[in-house]
Amino acid sequence: MVHVLDPQAGETVYDPCCGTGGFLAVAFEHISRNLGSTPAATMLDVLKHDTFFGREKENLVFPIALANLILQGCELIMERLTQIVIFLGR
């Protein structure tokens, strides 16, 4: 699905039913690969704060999503997802 949508740096990726975060992890990998081996610091900041958003109804799935993102090497976007969940009062 990610390769069909082909998200680019500077675009927003939103998964309304993020579950374990698989779509977000693959989207992060796709965008990171397109940025190359030495992306600009400003682009990393955009990826970290303004690109990835997810929502999940079940509170118990969120820790699984964080663990999945760690295992996939997506630590960069975890801080933002944690802030969103805290903001939503989860």
CA 86 to chain centre: 16
- Tokens 């989207």 appear where? 27
Determine how many CB atoms are found less than 10 A away from the CB of residue 25: 22
Give 37-82 pLDDT, tens digit per residue.
888 888 887 887 788 888 888 878 878 888 888 888 777 666 666 5
Structure confidence at residue 88 (pLDDT): 44
Q: Which residues contact 28 (CB under 8 A, 6 or more apart)?
A: 47, 52, 72, 74, 76, 77
- Per domain, the residue ranges of the chain are 2-87
pTM (2 decimals)? 0.77
- Give the pLDDT of residue 89: 42
Lowest mean pLDDT among 4-8, 12-16, 64-68, 70-74: 70-74
Distance in angstroms (rounded) separating the CA atoms of residues 44 and 20: 23
